[in-house]
Structure 1
């Protein structure tokens, strides 16, 4: 479940760069007194237990704020008609409302043409007529009640944590951090609030904030509250310190005004309805603020180039330093010379953060981690990837450096296809890099540079990648925190080669320095997965780009706000209609199909699955066999695959299935003892694996569906035969209990009334007993006997865990031009098992 949190965004228009140039961290905070603990087992099997906060424990109450007895049901819901589409007359009218004006007019024109012969007309004359109906809707009116609207949304009934908690494993009493309310910050806030006896029993609701300096709200749990158009000046005055301070203080003053309606509820509980039908007494608080570095500078009123979290000197950001805190900064401004505060502490003393107007709000502590900008775009893409290019140009003649970089691009382009993995046909050769591009490059870059750069650079990349993948986990344990600190230490050690070689002059880079604060931030706010700026950017398209395209482009801001208001009304109406069961059955438009299926397609090989959580992977063949397009008997399949001994492999497979307790290896069983089957089979071009992968893009329960391809013609161009992880010993960790194989085909057959879904595979052999010490990835090679005859086998699809991705071990050789990515699995002698293919692979291929 997600934490009880509300995410609110503002957009700051035309905010320029912060050009202040330019140490201290927080004096130790006194730990909060330990309240009485309410411990409960959590989840299946009593493997976890939670210590819940007993002061703010989210007790239900009635509409007057009187607490209900434990287990009391909520009041009966309002009896609303299941056919009342007000302000629309029917579902078809409602479904039409979300389209752009041009599409609405086109649809109404076509609609009218079909009704003309009946002397009838469509329900609306044009888009303006429809918009008037939307504007009259009682749903979604802002009236500064958006927080209450979110809390009352029944969609989130099973996704709220109503009280702060600390989660532990029953096996070793080790703490773990997952959802927001499992972090120390929510617990400490509850401790502070609970000092007032009138708040006991209330529900703490943190307001998670976010903004973007250019223009700029996760489902309906994220709302736009403002477009802040910051004033401009003439070029003559634009850079004057007084004007720049004015603009920045205006930003803070605007935020203070916007959040002021919540201020009374930050100390005095407000009775608020929730989506489960209960009322609760709510205490609000300003929570973490999601922002890129430029916005962090603006928010914390610091000098550009300094850290918003600690007071390390600009020239050596990674030096150990105290954390910033509100009380200490305010004391410095009261007592110290303003010039010293500017130069020594890196603070603009004339500015007052908006958080100073609210209780328990410390902007320095509130700054949250940002995986996208700090790790993916920052430390990886803008730093290490660029440094490799600079290093090659620094140590090699220009022409040879260019040749190496061309080969790195060819290596990236030669990587085989994999579900959810973006391909780079031209390597890195394009200018407009998105966050998704950088994430995709992280998955394939390390093997591409190995052999062209020194070992320390390879190990620096490995350390950074491991850091990124560890902090991106859905659940972070105390052991994982140790691993994160170890990865950071290794990264700091191996990156030194870039400085000693003269490639770069300094490591004092704010985004890269932020890695030092991740462990502290994880303890405060739990897994950073839920606090990344990619959450805010995901709604950028819906909230800004699409309204901009719908506008006339002239004085567009007012039009965009009106479009967003109408979309909010339609969204609120949809929630209400769904609650009344009115959006099921027939008349589902394509848009509704995209919003509410059990499975949502991401690409043709990958889906997220909103079904229930199942920890054990499940593999099944495609629904439709290939029929006459492929072999229909065992002998025909042996000929198609050029595996003459396929009937013998099938005999050994059947013996294992019929005699699972036989201790002999299948190769030692005489063929005379094996069943013989040569009859009809059904061949399939793919199978799907459904498995639990909460750290990746997945359904509400953390489930993910992946398609494994094995077909002679993919997209009518070339064959495709994916690789898979095969479970060989589930009692062993990681790759010790897994093997890698390549699927030649999927097929099924019936023997004595039982259907056997199978895969014909070629095994890969592990090289060594551990992962490669430089890249951290296991190396495998195609299995074969002493004469290089491939080692094939037939396995039950139940033995398959999921797809595996392999990247060639390129070595020091340059790739020939013209090598195609679909030949990758046939062209090399050894391969890395790519544990960076996705976060689930990272968790199993160690």
Structure 2
């Protein structure tokens, strides 16, 4: 029988107030251990308590809060003592502490004024047709004509036609700043006869006022509680530093120290502007239509908001892309002009910030208060080619340090504008290029702005440096090259085909992208690479040497550690250890002849700078280029598809402007309480009272999704919809699911619940000593786990929801029985504190007026000789548990002991999989399984 005989504990069931007991499992408070061990950001988002009621040119003195709202005893947050975000009046005078925000709503913007719309219906229709459905103008006309034809005489549809709808959106007074342009032309020496076309062309750059865009972001009511107005330093319970959101980082604190040297800035708010740019192609089929968007975001908003695409990243410009024919493509003069055009365009677009970088500007914030904002250029999000262009360096060199391109991981100092100018004054262009990797004829645009140096501001890029660069382009490719060089092309092809079959055989898991044909696809996306990282390590284990597996493991550990939303000093130590192991084990690729010229690659070298960048800019997941990549879809690709494709940029600008206006209007209407409830509800009230809403039915399109806050304690609950066509008695249901001991399992479960102080568990008793049960049973096909997972795709408050399924037929195919973690021992860390089970059935019943939501599970246990995780993969191994009769060990457990889903991947060994093997058989066909530590970041944190 299962070896899980722990002393039972009494606790309050989360499904009611009746005390119950679960034999052998801890309470939900035990699960909170897995959540609250990570430091949580402070909830006081508007700076520390202020004891100086009025502004003066002397430093403010604040009372240090002894404890923040992290829930960690002894944890605290220290705010910057001078640039503390003190609210002020319109004249810039400090307000007394505790002063309520001024009523700044214009009289015409009352709770019943939909201006420029007449009613809520008009706004909802415009928002649905233009933003959500993206309906073409001709289709809008057809719909409105049908609408008009269906109405009675005298009634009219909300809009006459699509032009009426567009003009109404254009009349919205919030958001959507107008676009302007300027033209740039080559001003150097132009040949008298047949000059190159690029020399005489005009290059148009479109932009909107970035200062107005940032001020709109700062005033966005949607960011209440999600924005910091002062640099801060967070400390854990043991006094160690914690890095999370951008303003908790050393760089913003140091910038505040520099700014506060000017007494006029005291009490102000430092507002760092995060920038990002990257070319994107909207259509290959119609001639490589490329655009070069420039994005901006305020660093004060929290990482989860920026990652959640809640209007925190705005497009502020479209840069020009100079092109020429092949004759001049490598012309040094043309390449110099391209660099000059890029940097001069950025300098011109960002010029409106210059005045506010030294003199505070009165700016409104989401809480309604006015504050004195001091702007500054913050990190720049860019992939490596863009970093080369931004840093004015030579391809193959590092844009942050001076390490030589032939030995990037060797010694090198920090690049800076001052160092570059000194080199330019001392050396010729050839020496600069060859010995220092410096382009000697252009200075970066940041040299024209106060306190800005692009070499310092280049942000870490998880997507291109680690996921698509080091993992996909390097390590996966090198494994294939090793197999070919070692086994020959024919046998290597057979091994890689088996690796593909192993990848395809991975059991289904919520949020996991499957590869039915393995990894053999031509067009890789960032999501493809992320998904492959989760399953690649077990697939190659047994086919490649041990050090190669360990190199991949060390790299994946590094990726998952730096991707965490909250990083402590202990995490930094783990990052250093993972990087050292990666550098040690990756030598196998040199020894195997895959990298005969050594490993000196900019994307891998970037890992050396991650610790410093985390200390400067905090958790890298808030600055990854995946944020701007996803913005391409809404700001560039979708507007392009909605255009006529002829001179499309102007149409795209108008589309972006209208979308911004609709988004701003929605935030404003929501803040005034005008969008509460259904749009139809007021009309139904005119006819008959609306009955109470039924209990919500959970019908998710996906098994894995973000959930908007508030942040709550993690919990697992059964689906709201009961499954049909199941017997209601335990005896008949046991026969139906081929579990003849099902009724006995329920009786043993009830004994444990009713006798929490018993020295024996129900599993050890004669069945006749257990309570009889004749109640009715309701069956469910899934349960939903909701938990705090800010490192994964999460909603407001960092909440995430995952569906755990146990269904006899999945999408007209075989059964799908997900695995899950159960609570085991709250005093043990990681996997040792958890059980691993496969869920055979979710069900509930009532016994003595108490509802018991339960699951019938099969147990997995660690092998008897297991003393730790696998030496190569770093993953714990489990195997199915069997009883004395040689049958799978099963039991009924309370749903409250379930933590979340677990992902098991077979230990394939060195054997080849059959060609016809189906992934639906994976959980029943192998002797042992890895507990995947890379299924998602939350699992990586709680289980390892």
- Please tell me whether residue 208 in structure 1 is matched to residue 274 in structure 2: yes
The range that moved more, 155-164 or 40-49, is 40-49
- The partner residue of 2:257 within 176, 182, 191 is 191
Please give the alpha-carbon distance, in whole angstroms, between the structure 2 residues aligned to 1:131 and 1:667.
Answer: 70
Q: Tell me which residue corresponds to 2:712.
A: 614
Cα distance change of structure 1 residues 4 and 426 upon mapping to structure 2, 3 Å threshold: farther
Q: Secondary structure of 2:816's match?
A: strand
Number of the residue aligned with 1:92: 121
Q: Which residue of 2 aligns with 1:781?
A: 879
Q: Distance in 2 between matches of 1:800 and 1:121?
A: 55
Which residue of 2 is the match for residue 109 of structure 1? 145
Name the SS for the 2:328 alignment partner: helix
Q: 2:652 and 2:917 mapped to 1: Cα distance?
A: 48
- Residues 496 and 38 of structure 1: is their aligned pair in 2 closer, same or farther, counting only changes over 3 Å? farther
Are the structure 2 counterparts of residues 743 and 580 from structure 1 closer, same or farther at C-alpha, using a change threshold of 3 Å? same
Residue 230 of structure 2: aligned partner? 163
State the match for 2:100 in structure 1.
Answer: 73
Q: TM-score, normalised by structure 1?
A: 0.92
Cα drift, residue 603 of structure 1 = 4.5
Q: 1:739 to 1:141 in 2, by over 3 A?
A: closer
> Shift of the alpha carbon at 1:309?
0.9
Following the alignment from structure 1 to structure 2, what is the Cα–Cα distance between the partners of residues 599 and 477? 39
Match of 2:23 in 1: none
Cα distance, 1:475–1:779 mapped onto 2, change above 3 Å: same
The residue that corresponds to 1:593 in the other structure is: none
Contact 1:602 1:608 survives alignment (8 Å): no
Contact 2:752–2:761 (CA under 8 A) maintained in structure 1 = no
| Aligned residue number for residue 69 of structure 2 | 43
Partner of 1:830: 928
Cα separation, 1, equivalents of 2:885 and 2:775: 31
Secondary structure of 1:155's aligned partner? helix
Match of 1:710 in 2: 806
Q: Are the counterparts in 2 of residues 2 and 179 from structure 1 also a CA contact under 8 Å? A: no
Q: Which moved more, 1:74-83 or 1:415-424?
A: 74-83
Q: Structure 1 CA distance, aligned partners of 2:800 and 2:321?
A: 43
Check whether the contact 2:775–2:847 (CA below 8 A) recurs between aligned residues: no
1:630 aligns to what? Answer: 726
Give 1:113 shift.
Answer: 2.9
Change (3 A) 1:341 1:386: same
Residue in 1 that maps onto 2:426 = 335
Tell me, in whole angstroms, the C-alpha distance in 1 between the residues paired with 2:437 and 2:678: 62
Segment of structure 1 superposing worse, 487-496 or 322-331: 322-331
SS at match of 1:843: helix
Matches of 2:471 and 2:572 in 1, distance apart? Answer: 20
Unaligned runs of 5+ in 2: 1-40, 46-58, 179-208, 281-290, 296-308, 682-695
Partner of 1:819: 917
Pairing 1:169-318 to 2, within 5 Å after superposition = 169-170=236-237, 172-214=238-280, 215=291, 216=293, 217=295, 218-318=309-409
Q: How is 1:347-496 mapped onto 2 (pairs within 5 angstroms)?
A: 347-496=438-587
Residue aligned with 1:396, SS? helix
Match of 1:549 in 2: 641
- Partner residue of 1:764 out of 860, 864, 878: 860
Q: CA deviation at 1:131?
A: 1.4
Following TM superposition, by how much is the alpha carbon of 1:330 offset from its aligned partner in structure 2, in angstroms? 1.9
Aligned to 1:8: none
In structure 1, distance between residues paired with 2:72 and 2:741: 49
Distance (Å, rounded) in 2 between the aligned partners of 1:764 and 1:698 = 30
Give the Cα separation in 2 of the matches to 1:541 and 1:779.
Answer: 41
Q: 1:46 to 1:398 in 2, by over 3 A?
A: closer
Q: CA deviation at 1:516?
A: 0.6
Decide whether aligned partners of structure 1 residues 141 and 689 sit closer, same or farther in structure 2, where only a CA change above 3 A counts. Answer: closer
**Alpha-carbon contact 2:43-2:69 (below 8 Å) kept:** no
1:21-36 matches, cutoff 5 A:
none
SS in 2 for 1:191: helix
Q: 1:188 to 1:272 in 2, by over 3 A?
A: same
SS at match of 1:118: coil
Return closer, same or farther for 1:141/1:820 CA change in 2, 3 Å cut-off: closer
Task: Assess, with a 3 A threshold, how the Cα gap between structure 1 residues 227 and 146 changes in structure 2: closer, same or farther.
Answer: same
Q: 1:146 aligns with which of 198, 213, 220?
A: 213
Is 2:276–2:381's contact at 8 Å kept on the other side of the alignment? yes
1:35 offset after TM fit, Å? 10
| Inter-partner Cα distance in structure 2 for 1:330 and 1:788 | 77
- Give distance in 2, aligned partners of 1:38 and 1:49: 12
For 1:732, the equivalent position in structure 2 comes to 828
Per-residue deviation, residues 727-756 of structure 1 (Å, max 9, x unmatched): 011121101110101111011111111111
User: What are the superposed Cα offsets for residues 518-561 of structure 1, whole Å, 9 maximum, x if unpaired?
Assistant: 00000000000100011111111111111111111111111111
Q: TM-score, normalised by structure 2?
A: 0.83
- Whether contact under 8 Å (1:2, 1:160) holds in the other structure is no
Note if contact 2:176-2:656 (Cα within 8 Å) is conserved in structure 1.
no
**1: CA distance, partners of 2:224 / 2:215:** 14
* Change in 2 beyond 3 A, CA 1:601/1:359: farther
**Aligned partners of 2:698 and 2:719 also within 8 Å:** no
Secondary structure of 2:739's counterpart equals coil
- Rounded to whole Å, the distance in 1 between the matches of 2:918 and 2:72 is 51
Q: CA offset at residue 120 of structure 1? A: 4.6
Contact 1:139 1:573 in 2 (8 A): yes
Query: CA distance change for structure 1 residues 653 and 123 in 2, over 3 Å: closer, same or farther?
Result: closer
Q: Which residue of 2 aligns with 1:13?
A: none
**In structure 2, C-alpha distance between the alignment counterparts of 1:491 and 1:563, rounded to whole Å:** 47
Which of 639, 664, 684 is the aligned partner of 2:760?
664
Equivalent residue, structure 1, for 2:607: 515
CA distance in 1, matches of 2:620, 2:759: 47
Rounded to whole Å, the distance in 2 between the matches of 1:439 and 1:44 is: 31
2:678 is the counterpart of 1:678:
no
Change (3 A) 1:774 1:831: same
Taking the aligned partners of 2:144 and 2:438, their CA distance within structure 1 comes to 58
2-structure distance, mates of 1:453, 1:765: 28
Which of 160, 168, 174 does residue 133 from structure 1 map onto?
Answer: 168
Shift, 1:599, TM fit: 12
CA distance in 1, matches of 2:645, 2:92: 49
Q: CA deviation digits over 1:542-600, x for unaligned, max 9? A: 111111111111111111111111111211222221221222222289xxxxxxxx999
Quick one: which of 674, 677, 685 aligns to 1:585? 677
Q: Does 1:792 align with 2:884?
A: no
Gaps of 5+ in 1: 6-33, 590-597
Q: What is the Cα deviation at residue 75 of structure 1?
A: 1.1
Comparing 87-96 with 759-768, greater Cα deviation is found at 87-96
How far apart are 1:221 and its partner, in Å?
1.5
SS in structure 2 at match of 1:453? coil
Q: Is the 8 A contact 2:42 2:69 kept in 1?
A: no
